[in-house]
Chains A and B, each alone.
Chain A
């Protein structure tokens, strides 16, 4: 079974509270934030490695990213993927999900033979969650999004469950197909020392525009129907009044404020001096 996994290098989400906008350049500053494999993409790699274990074949990881993404691809190879492809070209820059999925589709067509394609359901940074479905459309294969359970029927069909609000949907899908996976699908394996050694000699192909059978006007910024406007940081600040007094006093204040805000609260009446201690005062 030949499996392709799409991954995306993203700034580590642990540090998103440090992201800001440079007031002078109006650009997002993400300095010092390490770039990692988008976390849920690792669930895709894990799913691919598990399928390969059962059915044999080859796992290829692919990404569209700047040249330094080789490092992230090497990590995917260390996890156990067999080969990697980096789609990198200035012409790919500024792509929205439609142009990104188009470019990935062309890369995947060049790889050729595949049975299953995995993508993470969404990326941590942009979180549009659209690339998986759109990639499936460009490749004209069945696709599902938010997959949290996956059972191969044989090497031709899968039984899949997807998450929906307060529940799930079950599907039967024939290969080839594309699955956008959710983090509940599995627990991605850690990278092992043995994996790191093996990854050293695994191939990473780097393809630019000239290597792919692409229509130029579908690439990058030109090929993106969405255009970015202003960016800003939302102002979430509130007045931040810190209560003082004893615990009882603070909680009483809270209850009073709840009532002012229109919440119906039944509270015990406060113990008063005269009834405390059975009135023996």
Chain B
């Protein structure tokens, strides 16, 4: 029988619990983090206690043992008030997912408990000055010299570039067709030669740290290889296409809920000609559009996470969710601003920040054009008669 969409009792309870945390610890400070572009690192240990960091990690590695639907719920709730913190968290998850899905038992036991606890921050560094989506075109190299791997290169636009535990993709050789073969490494902060570079001053998603990683003769052992030598492209792709895009879509759903709630609040409170503007049809059209964007994005997101939790491949579903929700967040936050007239551009109201965050969400995890290519590719093959 076809089931209508409904969260479980535990999922609803989780949402309520995370919301309580967010309203107490995130909402009051979100605007300040945005303005000063500071990442509230002090919240990671608290999110650790709440199980948010390790939400999808099994209990044996210090996680909560829940799934990707629960992860999306956490990110959505945080992004409702701070998309900046949400992307820092979602990137933290990316590093953890790479280790969890591709790491050895030793690597999982070594890194995951502290990442779950939030005493250490995780990250995943793929993008280079030459481009992000051209995986095999990357230039950071790793060479095996005298029983050690020596890494050299530069990564850029790296969210959580200040992370303690970094998963880094490098070129380690060529296959028989001459294509670059990638290998992923776990590199800890403080490893000699491994340094943070410039800090990017972003339009949106501020409150997360984005910047360069400079990698100069960084020496790591074989135990730092994640998965097999040559598996780097697969690891990077798997993490970004499912975990990364799920996170970005969840952020956008959070922003969209913000647009709905702030829009409704303003429409009810703002009195023009003696009545709330919510009574005006023109305003109602905007509200209806924002709501529809929110609901559609939510369904796409949670349908994809549901599949992932059921171990059904869902890469295209996450592309659909990410593409639709990020574009929807852009247009809906613009609509919410329109609805608010002059108030929309005043920074005391959060909708301007929503718009900047929504715009900044487009390139993370692949731009809309990249998502369109993925969606088109799968559509052209899946719908062939």
Contact = CB atoms under 8 A, between A and B. Distances in A.
Contacts of B17: 78, 190-193, 195-196
Interface string B224-236: 0000000000000
A74 interface: yes
Interface string B12-56: 011011001100100000000000000000000010011110010
B175 interface: no
Interface stretch (B63-71, B130-138, B326-334): B63-71
A133 to B, nearest CB: 29
Contacts of A275: none
B50 A74 contact: no
Contacts of B64: 192-194, 197
A195 B20 CA distance: 15
A106 to B, nearest CB: 30
Contacts of A199: 13
Contacts of B55: 193
A190 B16 CA distance: 10
A179 B10 CA distance: 32
Contact of B51 (A75, A194, A200): A194
A169 B64 CA distance: 43
A193 B52 contact: yes
A interface, over-half SS: helix
Interface residues of B, number: 19
17 contacts: A78-B13, A78-B17, A190-B50, A191-B13, A191-B16, A192-B49, A192-B50, A193-B17, A193-B51, A193-B55, A193-B66, A193-B70, A194-B51, A194-B65, A195-B17, A195-B51, A200-B10
A191 B10 contact: no
B20 A191 contact: yes
B21 A190 contact: yes
A196 B14 CA distance: 7
Contacts of B65: 194, 197
B72 to A, nearest CB: 13
Nearest to B23: A14
A89 to B, nearest CB: 24
Nearest to B50: A192
